[in-house]
Chain A
Amino acid sequence: MPNHAESGDLQRLLARCRRGDSRAWSELIERFRSLVYSIPRRMGMGEDDAGDVFQATFVALYRSLHAIEDGQALPKWVATTAARESYRVRRLSGRYVTVDDDARALDEVLQDDEERADETAIRASEADWVRQGVRGLGAQCRDLLTALYVEGLAYQEVVTALGIPIGSIGPTRARCLEKLRRTLEAEGFFVG
């Protein structure tokens, strides 16, 4: 279950979309913009194919607006749809089919792709969950963890970017990661 506060927001966004509110639809796209687009890109797909996956995912979401009852389930639903679409686009592109794949029955290839897609979706939704968790931390922790793990800055670059003394980066990072761990634990991130 993702961030508790966000679950309510997603539920409200879904309800507004069902009523035809285009601003809610734009907010929904913005919320899942990185989650969806990152899935095909992490699989090595180019911008064009990733753009097709992005479009297909939101078309599917639009068509399912009335079927998705639970806002909490939305990140996983979106990630699963994007991952399955990524494998479909990759399979159809033919550029990634190996000789082994050619020799196997099509349904076997499809079954494997579906399993891989589900694993990809789990990893992607976990990454998204943790990213949302970082965003929910206080400014100091949010900025530091974003600098270190989203932007990939080295300690010396963090000193310049955030003005933190180099000697306090380690202890602050430890405190922030522990805070994030406890938040995620309370949200059920580590269950299962």
Chain B
Amino acid sequence: MKRQHNHHEEPLIAWVFDEGPKPEAMSERDALRSEQFVRMASALRAGFYDAPDHSVERAEAVFPVARRILPKAFGLGLAGARGLAATAFQVMYEAEDVTVRVGYEREGQGWRVLGEGPAGAWVELPDRDLEPDEGRFEFEAASLNGTGFVLRLSDREIPIPPGSEATHDESR
């Protein structure tokens, strides 16, 4: 519905925003609106300053170096389709200069995770740490959602998301 023209509107706004004369005989509704316009005017007049680029870059560097944790490749090991009935699949994650290969296999009611990362890295699970053998490690999880872990290197840590994110299936 087209809004009807309110002939009080401009004087009210001119009063609040331009220090114009106060409108005569304001209705209760316009009195409320004028209070709201005053708050808006105060907020609108607050000066904004854009942080310089070097400050933004410094803040971006707060995030750990190991950050671009995106699956680089995805492969099915056994019969199944992505996101539906896969019972085994592999994901290759790439975090800048580090590559981590992780295989997920359904085992009974849970999942077995087999991985390979750089030698010397540790694997942190929610309840324990693993010391990989020449970069290879293995653990079990009750669900695919519980297969996330952190790969700890000497200079950084790389969070590897659970396999459910790679399959886009968080129901398992």
Contacts and interface: CB of A to CB of B under 8 A. Distances in A.
Interface string A106-132: 000000000000000001101101110
A185 interface: yes
B63 A173 contact: no
A177 B49 contact: no
Interface in A137-187: 145, 149-150, 170-171, 173-174, 177-178, 180-181, 184-185
B67 A51 contact: no
Interface of B: 9-10, 13-14, 17, 33, 36-37, 39-40, 42-52, 54-56, 58-60, 62-64, 66-70, 158-159, 161, 165
A87 interface: no
Contacts of B42: 123, 126
A178 B33 CA distance: 9
A77 to B, nearest CB: 16
Is the contact region of chain A dominated by helix, strand, or loop, or is it mixed?
A: helix
Given A50-B51, A58-B59, A189-B39, 14 more contacts: A20-B67, A20-B161, A21-B67, A21-B68, A22-B67, A34-B49, A55-B58, A58-B62, A59-B62, A126-B43, A130-B43, A173-B17, A174-B13, A177-B40
Contacts of A177: 13, 17, 37, 40
A26 B50 CA distance: 15
B60 A26 contact: yes
A41 interface: yes
Contacts of B49: 34, 37-38, 41-42, 50
A127 B48 contact: yes
B18 to A, nearest CB: 9
Contacts of B58: 51, 54-55
Interface in A37-53: 37-38, 41-42, 47, 50-51
B69 A174 contact: no
Nearest to A134: B44
Nearest to A178: B9
B3 to A, nearest CB: 8
A51 B55 contact: yes
A29 B13 contact: no
B9 A21 contact: no
A129 B43 contact: yes
A19 B159 contact: yes
Contact of B48 (A123, A150, A190): A150
5 contacts: A20-B64, A20-B66, A47-B52, A51-B58, A181-B37
A29 B51 CA distance: 10
